[in-house]
Chains A and B, each alone.
Chain A
Amino acid sequence: MAPTTVEGVPAYTEFHPRWYRPRVSVYWWLGEWRYLRFILRELSSVFVAVFVIVTLLGLRALRNGAEAYARFMHRFENPAAIALSTISFFFVLFHSITWFNLAPSAMAIRFRGRRLPNIVVAAPNYVLWLVASVAVAWLVLR
């Protein structure tokens, strides 16, 4: 069926004219702190992946016996490993904080007709974080 034409409005066609899209520099995220912070937050996931790989190596060491485990733990004691751990820790911390602070943006909780302040919505995340961290530490250190 041929498309019906309305006065002054072009008929529907599958092909549209090329959009005007100014080219954005590949380095668009370097100029402004907000953009850089966004990219750094996304890159925190790389350190999460590094953590998983190291954890898998640790599990393999545990599986291979006491000596392999001792060698694995010993490998963390050099300055390069400490540097990687420190950087990873701060990136993952950045991920945690930005993730927990998303809660008030994701849900607008109302109480007695008023919207709860952001900090009240995010706070349970921090409490749960503390509880989970203490539980893990207790199990490992016990």
Chain B
Amino acid sequence: MQKPSNEAFLWMLFSAGGVIAAFLVPVHILLFGLAFPLGWLRAPSYEHLMPLVRLPLVRIYLFLLCSVPLFHWAHRFRYTLYDGLQVKHLNEVIFTLCYGGALLGTIVAGYLLWTMA
């Protein structure tokens, strides 16, 4: 029998991250990357943003927005390297770097949001 793999679990993270990225990332980039720096809209002040980020529900939102899409990236990027560049011999290294990176980002996000005064 084939040994059980975590592929299904990782695929679920990939899928959930894809959903979060598809629904929420465009509006964030549009606002903070384009509308505010180009002066289309007035950027929110620190005094407005800080109380918002302190709300528990917003912290959970930001945590999910940062963490889960990283696992989406890890999955897609891993297979792009495997199939696109045919670097199958580096499977283990790529796997470790991709999911290690996603895990590191998750820890950083958790730390920043948990310790936000």
Contact among A39, A63, A142 with B112 in the assembled complex (CB-CB below 8 Å):
A63
Task: Report the minimum CB–CB distance from B95 to chain A (whole Å).
Answer: 15
B36 at the A/B interface (Cβ < 8 Å)?
A: yes
Interface of B, helix, strand, loop or mixed by DSSP: helix
Determine whether the beta carbon of A70 is less than 8 Å from that of B46: yes
Number of interface residues of A (CB under 8 A): 53
A-B contact count (CB 8 A): 157
| CB-defined contacts of B112 to chain A, threshold 8 Å | 56, 59-60, 63
Interface of A, helix, strand, loop or mixed by DSSP: helix
Determine whether the beta carbon of A95 is less than 8 Å from that of B27: no
Contact among A24, A45, A51, A73 with B76 in the assembled complex (CB-CB below 8 Å):
A45
Asked whether A63 and B37 contact (CB < 8 A) given A92-B25, A100-B22, the answer is: no
B97 at the A/B interface (Cβ < 8 Å)?
A: no
* Category for how many chain B residues contact A: 35 or more
A132 at the A/B interface (Cβ < 8 Å)?
A: yes
Stretch of A5-13, A75-83, A109-117 contacting B (4+ beta carbons < 8 Å):
A75-83
Most chain A beta-carbon neighbours within 10 Å: one of B29, B30, B43, B46: B29
A52 at the A/B interface (Cβ < 8 Å)?
A: yes
* CB-based nearest B residue for A84: B33
Task: Report the minimum CB–CB distance from A133 to chain B (whole Å).
Answer: 4
B8 at the A/B interface (Cβ < 8 Å)?
A: no
Determine whether the beta carbon of A137 is less than 8 Å from that of B31: yes
Which residues of A, 32-89, contact B by the 8 Å Cβ criterion? Answer: 39, 42-46, 48-49, 51-56, 58-60, 62-63, 65-66, 69-70, 73, 76-77, 81-82, 84-86, 88-89
Task: Report the minimum CB–CB distance from A137 to chain B (whole Å).
Answer: 6
CA distance A110 to B19 in the complex (A): 24
| CB-defined contacts of A82 to chain B, threshold 8 Å | 33-34, 37-38
Determine whether the beta carbon of A56 is less than 8 Å from that of B21: no
Task: Report the minimum CB–CB distance from A31 to chain B (whole Å).
Answer: 13
Determine whether the beta carbon of B27 is less than 8 Å from that of A132: yes
| CB-defined contacts of A45 to chain B, threshold 8 Å | 21, 72-73, 75-77, 80
Question: Using a CB–CB distance below 8 Å, which chain A residues touch chain B?
Answer: 24, 26, 29, 39, 42-46, 48-49, 51-56, 58-60, 62-63, 65-66, 69-70, 73, 76-77, 81-82, 84-86, 88-89, 92-93, 95-96, 99-100, 125, 128-129, 132-133, 136-137, 139-142
